[in-house]
Amino acid sequence: MLNTTWDFGDAVRVTRNVRNDGTYPGAATGDLLVRRGSVGHVVDIGTFLQDQVIYSVHFLDINRIVGCREEELIGEDDPWVPSRYEVRERVLANKALVANGEELVPIGALGEVMLVIRDSDPPTYHLHFDCQRGRIFAVPEGALNPLPGKRVDP
């Protein structure tokens, strides 16, 4: 049996937008199911591939039960800072990233969000940039833009 962070009835907040991966009935693949920051209550606990905890969370305000991985949830009372981007999202640098006078990441460089750090308002992101494979950069939200034509969910 896996250790779980939350129990039945616990109030939790989802930290990223949850979209239909094709398993939610009545919604098209890619449809937004639950907006990040929404609060729900744990109604069931299961596993996926025998090693990932999946919580069924009932979001009362939209009357929807959605499966969430443990890393997508925080406690309702944990500090919450909304973010413009989320993990795995592709973004562009809108400022050059420079260290010791050397430009490491040029304006327009393509990157991927690896982690959202919500300790500050606005948040900071850990990113991998295609031009600097293997390096992780801490980048403030204001130094990033969405990909052209990419919708940005609030």
| Tens place of pLDDT per residue across the chain (154 aa) | 567 788 889 999 998 888 888 888 888 998 889 998 999 999 988 877 777 888 999 999 999 999 998 888 999 988 888 888 888 889 999 999 999 999 999 999 999 999 888 777 888 999 999 999 889 999 999 999 998 876 555 5
3-state DSSP call for residue 130? helix
39-48, strands of its sheet edge to edge = 64-69, 52-59, 39-48, 11-14, 73-75
Rounded to two decimals, the pTM is: 0.67
Identify whether the C-beta of residue 125 lies closer than 8 Å to the C-beta of residue 142: no
Identify whether the C-beta of residue 65 lies closer than 8 Å to the C-beta of residue 57: yes
Predicted confidence at residue 47, as pLDDT, reads 74
The verdict on whether omega for the bond into residue 25 sits within 30 degrees of 0, i.e. cis, is no
Per-state percent for the chain, helix, strand, coil, to nearest 5: 5, 45, 50
75-87 residues labelled b (16+ CB within 10 A) or e (exposed): eeeeeeeebbbeb
Contacts of 85 (CB under 8 A, 6+ apart): 91, 113, 116, 125, 141, 144, 146, 152
